[in-house]
């Protein structure tokens, strides 16, 4: 079973990520992982923190001579900002440390501040926000890089793009080739394939920035080359659509998830929504009239691209703060303001890729197993033959 965990606080020394259960022999490229970390840091509307950090994965176990060796992979990613927080967030108290604390007692509506402080009985929401921060997605993206390397061996690739920022949308169909080209760019604006729509999105971020507000949007993750048969209809918790939904909603600020064209489908009719079934004798395979189901039927992949969207609320830290209540005085106050981003939809998309890659890697390993990549690939090849000869 593929298991992963992350640890680390936004302004702590570093982020830690571990992944256990990858077969031996998965080729690992630090360059590819670091490229994804870089992509996560990009996008028009990011805050000052991204100027401080240059996220790089430091693999300390589980990989030797550029390949996994079956043991847990552990990755460290430094927080360059830690040097500015050593006295505010020390591991051990020191004389006078109470005066150095940067307490947060004016919880931000929408952030984990109040709910977390009540739950953990903290008079200082700092401890909550440190872990609730989307900085944690850095660790997920590093792990996603490993999952992508594994999936790549099976011919599966995962990319994302932005389809909405605020009210500005681009719903035009996107080819896989366009997605690859988009994500290979060395400059990221809002990671939208439609240049005209991207400019409109940029206009929204510009305008929102000036008013001290923030803006959300929608990203779409596409997994290409996925075989039919991952996940299962047999129990509620083996349905892959459910696992993907949980994985996407677990990303900071994501409040909704859509598999395929769910919203449109809910407002339409059965005859317009289901993807018709056809057969190509030449390719020996079933084909579909469209992919409105987002590659999943009955919780099982059907061989089409897996398409999952994340609906991101605007970031909850506002320069023009909302009403709140101070923990100490219980008086009405403006919520705390901490340096933050105005728009993070492209970055959230990269986080979404990581989560989709991890869930697909889990499902693929559950189905095909293998302690070495040779074994996994042999099993995979046998299964593909079976499907072809169905
Ligand atoms: C983030 C780093 C954080 C925030 C943001 C995401 O850095 P800092 O708090 O030092 O500015 O920019 O986190 C949040 C949006 C949040 O609400 O906590 C990152 O690396 O993505």
Compute the Cα dihedral for 61, 28, 361, 216 and give only its sign.
positive
How far apart are alpha carbons 15 and 287 in whole angstroms?
43
Mutational pocket test of ligand 1: of 52, 340, 347, the residue with most ligand atoms within 8 Å of the beta carbon: 340
pLDDT of 171-230, one tens digit each?
899 999 999 999 999 999 999 999 999 999 999 999 999 999 999 999 999 999 999 999
- At 338, the pLDDT band (50, 70, 90 cuts) reads confident
- Nearest CA, atom 19, ligand 1: 135
Give the percent of the chain with pLDDT over 90: 98
Residue 355 belongs to a domain with what CATH number?
3.60.150.10
Ligand 1: residues within 6 Å at CB?
A: 10, 47, 49, 81, 111, 129, 133-135, 138, 315, 317, 338-341
Rounded mean pLDDT of the chain? 97
Ligand 1 geometric centre to CA of 46 (Å): 9
pLDDT of 366-376, one tens digit each?
999 999 999 99
**Do 321 and 108 meet the contact criterion of CB atoms below 8 Å apart?**
yes
**Nearest atom, ligand 1, residue 48 CA:** 11
Q: In total, how many domains does the chain have?
A: 1
Domain that holds residue 346: 3-388
How far apart are alpha carbons 209 and 200 in whole angstroms?
14
Mutational pocket test of ligand 1: of 134, 316, 343, 344, the residue with most ligand atoms within 8 Å of the beta carbon: 134
- Nearest CA, atom 1, ligand 1: 135
Mutational pocket test of ligand 1: of 48, 135, 141, 336, the residue with most ligand atoms within 8 Å of the beta carbon: 135
Say what angle helices 30-41 and 345-368 make with each other, to 10 degrees.
140
């Amino acid at each position: 079973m593929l298991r992963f965990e992350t640890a680390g606080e936004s302004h702590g020394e570093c982020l830690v990520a571990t992944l256990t259960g990858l077969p031996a022999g998965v080729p690992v490229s630090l360059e590819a992982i670091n490229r994804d970390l870089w992509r996560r840091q990009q996008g028009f509307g990011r805050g000052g923190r991204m100027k401080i950090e240059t996220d790089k994965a430091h693999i300390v176990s589980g990989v030797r001579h550029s390949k996994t060796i079956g043991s847990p992979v552990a990755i460290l990613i430094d927080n360059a900002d830690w040097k500015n927080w050593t006295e505010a967030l020390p591991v051990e108290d020191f004389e006078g440390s109470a005066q150095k604390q940067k307490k947060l007692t004016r919880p931000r509506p929408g952030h984990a501040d109040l709910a977390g402080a009540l739950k953990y009985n903290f008079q200082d929401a700092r401890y909550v926000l440190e872990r609730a921060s989307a900085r944690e997605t850095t660790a997920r993206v590093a792990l996603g890089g490993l999952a992508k390397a594994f999936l790549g061996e099976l011919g599966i690739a995962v990319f994302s793009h932005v389809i909405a920022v605020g009210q500005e949308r681009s719903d035009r169909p996107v080819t896989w080739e366009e997605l690859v080209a988009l994500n290979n760019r060395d400059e990221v604006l809002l990671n939208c394939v439609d240049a005209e729509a991207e400019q409109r999105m940029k206009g929204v971020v510009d305008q929102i920035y000036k008013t001290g507000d923030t803006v959300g949007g929608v990203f779409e993750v596409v997994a290409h080359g996925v075989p039919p048969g991952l996940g299962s209809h047999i129990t509620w918790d083996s349905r892959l659509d459910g696992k993907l939904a949980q994985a996407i909603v677990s990303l900071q600020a994501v409040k909704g998830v859509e598999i395929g064209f769910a919203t449109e489908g809910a407002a339409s009719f059965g005859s317009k929504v289901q993807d018709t079934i056809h057969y190509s004798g030449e390719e020996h395979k079933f084909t579909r009239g469209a992919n409105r189901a987002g590659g999943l039927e009955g919780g099982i992949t059907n061989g089409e691209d897996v398409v999952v969207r994340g609906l991101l609320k605007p970031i909850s830290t506002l320069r023009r703060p909302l009403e709140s209540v101070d923990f100490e005085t219980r008086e009405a106050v403006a919520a705390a303001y901490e340096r933050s981003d105005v728009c993070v939809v492209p970055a959230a998309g990269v986080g979404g890729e990581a989560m989709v890659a991890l869930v697909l890697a889990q499902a693929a390993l559950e189905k095909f197993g293998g302690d070495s990549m040779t074994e996994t690939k042999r099993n995979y090849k046998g299964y593909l033959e079976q499907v072809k000869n169905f």
